[in-house]
């Protein structure tokens, strides 16, 4: 048995035969004869690729929905890009062979994307690579797409979104690629399609064709030629996972309550509109955390008020009246957005200008976001939540900006709706001052990811200090208890929206504290609902 480690990109496990994708040319169909110039050859390939992308968009629309299908529209735009195809055309005009011209233009653009500072933009280099490859394939007479004849784990150096979407879903057991990151579109599409995937194994998979393997999308491993014991173990895991899915499916549409008879809502953590569609599929009872920083990341300037309004309005619409808690921009630290946070590196970014601190430094950002949110609240059930609050003075300033947003909407004659404004409790200072903060806000939401890192002074990304947070330290428990006790006295609700909210081992503790909302990754919703329904406890607050 050989164990190949990669990056987990889409969860779940499967056992099956590997089908390694090889891309060989069919010289008979090479796009060469009958063309007067290399530029003409290139234009013909671009035209053919453009028509392919139209068909792919239609196919993706049916399989994964509009938001994910948009990648093919973006690819189409790339086919018109001056720096890419325009540059290739300039080179073929000088007589360079179309394939070489494309490679040269693509390489320049790929280098530019790789130099960008967000992981998302860096991953776009793979899109350029995929388009260039497809154009070269057309020039070389290769057909696009991969044909599967039996259920297979598809292995490739990399898969373009086009190849991924064209695969027969009934025959794809999983994906494993030599390159790619969890932010690559193939990984995103795999998650949307619910197919296990491992990316970036950093070794050739050519020798694995036809071999039996286990693909573990949770741990990011490919186990080639598994021995009997390992196969047995995974057969059992797969059977258990199926049983669990069937059991949890029975909880769809059910509601959970605490021992005082109050409703306990299991809501979703999302990062964009696609995620909301996914959350609805998992039977969420609203969204407890919409991380809006992702809306600011895939671009060179902040989204306008109008763009944000459309997104928040559409989010609320998808949730059919259930509450959508939108967190205001949490940029900084590991979520750098260079056009806002600048390139100058802070010595301690997690302790620097992050989240609300950035928004108070650049208040127009928060004002625009509040205006969009208040407008969306006129037509949907929207609440706002402020990240990284440390002191009451920050809440006062945020409230002033919120009031300014309402007043300016009045002046502009734009409709706005009443909206709850809550804060995240994710610094020890906020937990300690919870009694002072509670009267100033409509709700608390405990961000355990940061609350833990700041309480035990251990970087949440650094595995070497993870021992300080597992098992959950008493210091963090006390912060959570202080927060819940202050909230109960003031009569405001508490949600837990960090990763710990999905940990069934902590459900009882949260219910004892009086937490009435848990916001978790969509696939965890039913499991957490099960834990809430099964918990036996008595309330502290």
Map the footprint of ligand PEP across residues 482-541, applying CB under 6 A. 497-498
Q: How many other CB atoms sit within 10 Å of the CB of residue 93?
A: 13
Nearest approach in angstroms of CB 448 to ligand PEP is 5
Note if 44 is an active site residue.
no
Nearest approach in angstroms of CB 499 to ligand PEP is 7
Cβ nearer to ligand PEP, comparing 142 with 460: 460
When CB distances are held under 5 to 8 angstroms depending on the partner's kind, the choice from ligand PEP, Mg ion, none that residue 497 binds is ligand PEP
Listed residue (27, 30, 131, 125) closest to 78, CA to CA: 131
Cβ nearer to ligand PEP, comparing 285 with 293: 293
Chain centroid offset of residue 527 CA: 20
Distance (Å) of CA 389 to CA 324, 328, 394, 446: 20, 12, 7, 11
Nearest approach in angstroms of CB 131 to ligand PEP is 32
Question: Do the Cβ atoms of 130 and 179 come closer than 8 Å?
Answer: no
Nearest approach in angstroms of CB 249 to ligand PEP is 27
Q: Where are the alpha helices (DSSP H) in 226-300?
A: 228-249, 273-281, 293-297
Note if 235 is an active site residue.
no
Distance CA 5, CA 499 (A): 24
Cβ nearer to ligand PEP, comparing 187 with 355: 355
Map the footprint of Mg ion across residues 399-428, applying CB under 5 A. 426
Cβ nearer to Mg ion, comparing 98 with 356: 356
291 binds ligand PEP (CB under 6 A): yes
Cβ nearer to ligand PEP, comparing 217 with 447: 447
Q: What are phi and psi of 151, to 5 degrees?
A: -55, 125
Strands (E), 261-355: 263-270, 287-291, 324-327
Tokens of 463: 């595995």
447 binds Mg ion (CB under 5 A): yes
Nearest approach in angstroms of CB 518 to ligand PEP is 12
Nearest approach in angstroms of CB 422 to ligand PEP is 13
Distance CA 44, CA 307 (A): 36
Cβ nearer to ligand PEP, comparing 57 with 510: 510
Question: Do the Cβ atoms of 448 and 494 come closer than 8 Å?
Answer: no
Quick note: the x/- pattern for ligand PEP over 314-333, rule CB under 6 A, is ----------------x---
Distance CA 261, CA 492 (A): 16
The binder of Mg ion chosen from 99, 137, 450, 512 (CB under 5 A) = 450
What dihedral do alpha carbons 106, 111, 112, 118 form, nearest 10°?
120
Residue 268 β-bridge partners = 287, 520
When CB distances are held under 5 to 8 angstroms depending on the partner's kind, the choice from ligand PEP, Mg ion, none that residue 448 binds is ligand PEP
Tell me which residue has its CB nearest to Mg ion.
Answer: 450
Q: How many other CB atoms sit within 10 Å of the CB of residue 260?
A: 9
Quick note: the x/- pattern for ligand PEP over 415-454, rule CB under 6 A, is -----------x--------------------xxxx----
Residue 223 β-bridge partners = 3, 214
N- to C-terminal Cα distance for the chain? 54
What dihedral do alpha carbons 454, 288, 363, 486 form, nearest 10°?
-60
Cβ nearer to ligand PEP, comparing 401 with 497: 497
Nearest approach in angstroms of CB 440 to Mg ion is 20
Distance CA 477, CA 513 (A): 10
Candidates 75, 185, 208, 324; catalytic one: 185
Nearest approach in angstroms of CB 334 to ligand PEP is 8
When CB distances are held under 5 to 8 angstroms depending on the partner's kind, the choice from ligand PEP, Mg ion, none that residue 195 binds is none
Residue 335 β-bridge partners = 332
Total site size for ligand PEP, rule CB under 6 A: 10
Quick note: the x/- pattern for Mg ion over 313-352, rule CB under 5 A, is ----------------------------------------
Distance CA 508, CA 488 (A): 17
Total site size for Mg ion, rule CB under 5 A: 3
When CB distances are held under 5 to 8 angstroms depending on the partner's kind, the choice from Mg ion, ligand PEP, none that residue 291 binds is ligand PEP
Candidates 208, 359, 484, 497; catalytic one: 497
Q: SS3 breakdown of the chain: % helix, strand, coil, rounded to 5?
A: 50, 15, 35
Q: How many residues does the chain have?
A: 541
390 binds ligand PEP (CB under 6 A): no
Nearest approach in angstroms of CB 403 to Mg ion is 26
Give the SS3 label for residue 223.
Answer: strand
Listed residue (169, 136, 138) closest to 154, CA to CA: 169
Cβ nearer to ligand PEP, comparing 148 with 432: 432
Listed residue (272, 87, 238, 71) closest to 163, CA to CA: 71
When CB distances are held under 5 to 8 angstroms depending on the partner's kind, the choice from Mg ion, ligand PEP, none that residue 325 binds is none
Cβ nearer to ligand PEP, comparing 91 with 482: 482
Distance (Å) of CA 47 to CA 53, 79, 91: 10, 9, 18
Which positions lie near Mg ion, rule CB under 5 A?
Answer: 426, 447, 450
Enzyme catalytic residues:
185, 497
Which positions lie near ligand PEP, rule CB under 6 A?
Answer: 289, 291, 330, 426, 447-450, 497-498
């Amino acid at each position: 048995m050989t164990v190949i480690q990669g990056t987990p990109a889409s969860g779940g496990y499967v056992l099956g035969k590997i089908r390694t994708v090889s891309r060989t040319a069919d010289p008979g169909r090479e796009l060469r004869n009958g063309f007067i110039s290399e530029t003409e050859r290139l234009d013909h390939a671009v035209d053919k690729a453009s028509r392919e992308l139209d068909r792919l968009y239609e196919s993706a629309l049916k399989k994964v929905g509009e938001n994910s299908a948009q990648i093919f529209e973006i690819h189409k735009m790339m086919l018109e890009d001056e720096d890419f195809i325009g540059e290739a055309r300039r080179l073929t005009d000088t007589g360079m062979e179309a394939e070489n011209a494309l490679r040269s233009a693509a390489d320049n653009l790929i280098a530019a994307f790789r130099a960008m500072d967000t992981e998302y933009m860096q991953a776009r280099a793979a899109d350029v690579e995929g388009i260039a490859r497809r154009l070269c394939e057309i020039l070389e007479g290769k057909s696009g797409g991969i044909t599967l004849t039996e259920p297979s784990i598809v292995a490739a150096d990399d898969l373009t979104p086009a190849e991924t979407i064209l695969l027969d879903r009934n025959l794809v057991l999983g994906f494993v690629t030599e390159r790619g990151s969890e932010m690559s579109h193939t990984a995103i599409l795999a998650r949307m399609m619910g197919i296990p995937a491992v990316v970036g194994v950093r070794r050739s998979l050519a020798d694995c064709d036809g071999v039996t393997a286990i693909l573990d999308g949770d741990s990011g491993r490919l186990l080639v030629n598994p021995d009997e014991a390992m196969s047995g173990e995974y057969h059992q895991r797969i059977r258990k996972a199926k049983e669990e899915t069937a059991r949890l499916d029975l909880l769809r549409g059910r509601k959970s309550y605490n021992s005082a008879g109050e409703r306990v809502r299991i809501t979703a953590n999302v990062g964009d509109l696609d995620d909301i569609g996914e959350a609805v599929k998992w039977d969420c009872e609203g969204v407890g955390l919409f991380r809006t920083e992702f809306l600011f990341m895939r671009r060179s300037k902040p989204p306008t008020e109008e763009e944000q309004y459309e997104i928040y309005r559409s989010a609320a619409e998808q949730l059919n009246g259930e509450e959508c808690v939108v967190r205001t921009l949490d940029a900084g630290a590991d979520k750098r957005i260079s056009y806002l946070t600048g390139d100058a590196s802070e010595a301690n970014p997690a302790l620097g200008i992050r989240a609300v601190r950035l928004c108070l430094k650049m208040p127009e950002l928060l004002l625009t976001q509040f205006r969009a949110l208040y407008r969306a609240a006129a037509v949907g059930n929207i609440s706002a939540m402020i990240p990284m609050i440390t002191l009451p003075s920050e809440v006062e300033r945020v409230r002033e900006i919120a009031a300014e947003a309402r007043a300016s909407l009045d002046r502009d004659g734009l409709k706005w709706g009443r909206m709850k404004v809550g804060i995240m409790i994710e610094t020890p200072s906020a937990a300690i001052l919870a009694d002072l903060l509670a009267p100033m806000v409509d709700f608390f939401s405990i961000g355990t990811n940061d609350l833990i890192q700041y309480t035990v002074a251990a970087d949440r990304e650094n595995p070497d200090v993870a021992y300080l947070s597992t098992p959950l330290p008493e210091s963090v428990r006390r912060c959570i208890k202080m927060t819940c006790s202050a909230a109960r006295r003031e009569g405001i609700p508490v949600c837990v929206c960090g990763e710990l909210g999905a940990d069934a081992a902590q459900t009882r503790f949260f219910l004892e504290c009086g937490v009435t909302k848990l916001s978790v990754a969509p696939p965890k919703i039913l499991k957490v609902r099960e834990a809430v329904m099964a918990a036996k406890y008595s309330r502290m607050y």
